[in-house]
Homo-oligomer: A and B are copies of this chain.
Amino acid sequence: MKTAPEVCGTVLECLDKSPEAVLLTDAGGRIVYANEAFERLAGCAPGEAAGKTAAALSKWFDHPESPRKELLTALKAGKEWSGRVPRRPSDGGERLLSVRIAPVKKSGAAVHYLAFARDVTVEASREKRSAEERKLEALGTLSGQLAHDFNNLLTIIIGSMEMIMEEMTPQSVSMKLSQGILQASKESAELIKKLLVFARRQDGAPSLVRLDAAIAEAKPQLEKFQGPVHKLSYDLSRGSVCVKLEQEQFKQLLRNLVVNACEAMPYGGTIRIAAYEERVGHEDARGMKDGDYAVIEVSDAGRGFPPGALERLFEPFVTTKPKGKGSGLGLSMVYGIVKQHKGEIIVDSGSGVGSAFRIYLPKAEAAEKARA
- A residues touching B (Cβ–Cβ < 8 Å)? 1-3, 7-20, 24, 32-35, 39, 46-47, 49-50, 80, 82, 100, 102, 104-105, 112, 114, 116, 118, 123, 127, 131, 134-135, 138-139, 141-143, 145-146, 149-150, 153, 156-157, 160-161, 163-164, 167, 172-174, 177-178, 180-181, 184-185, 188, 191, 195, 312, 315-318
Contacts and interface: CB of A to CB of B under 8 A. Distances in A.
Given A11-B33, A14-B114, A16-B3, A153 B188 contact: yes
A167 B2 CA distance: 97
Given A160-B177, A184-B156, A318-B141, A11 B24 contact: yes
Contacts of A10: 24, 32-33, 112
A48 to B, nearest CB: 8
Contacts of A161: 181
Contact of A317 (B141, B172, B173, B317): B141
Main secondary structure of the interface of A (DSSP, over half): helix
Contacts of A33: 1, 3, 7, 10-11
Given A19-B102, A153-B184, A160-B181, A138 B315 contact: yes
The 4 closest A-B pairs by CB, nearest first: A160-B177, A131-B131, A145-B317, A135-B135
A285 B18 CA distance: 30
Given A12-B3, A177-B164, A18 B184 contact: no
B191 A178 contact: no
A135 to B, nearest CB: 4
A102 B18 contact: yes
Contact of A19 (B14, B46, B80): B80
A206 to B, nearest CB: 28
Contacts of A13: 104
A53 to B, nearest CB: 15
Contacts of A11: 12, 15, 24, 32-33
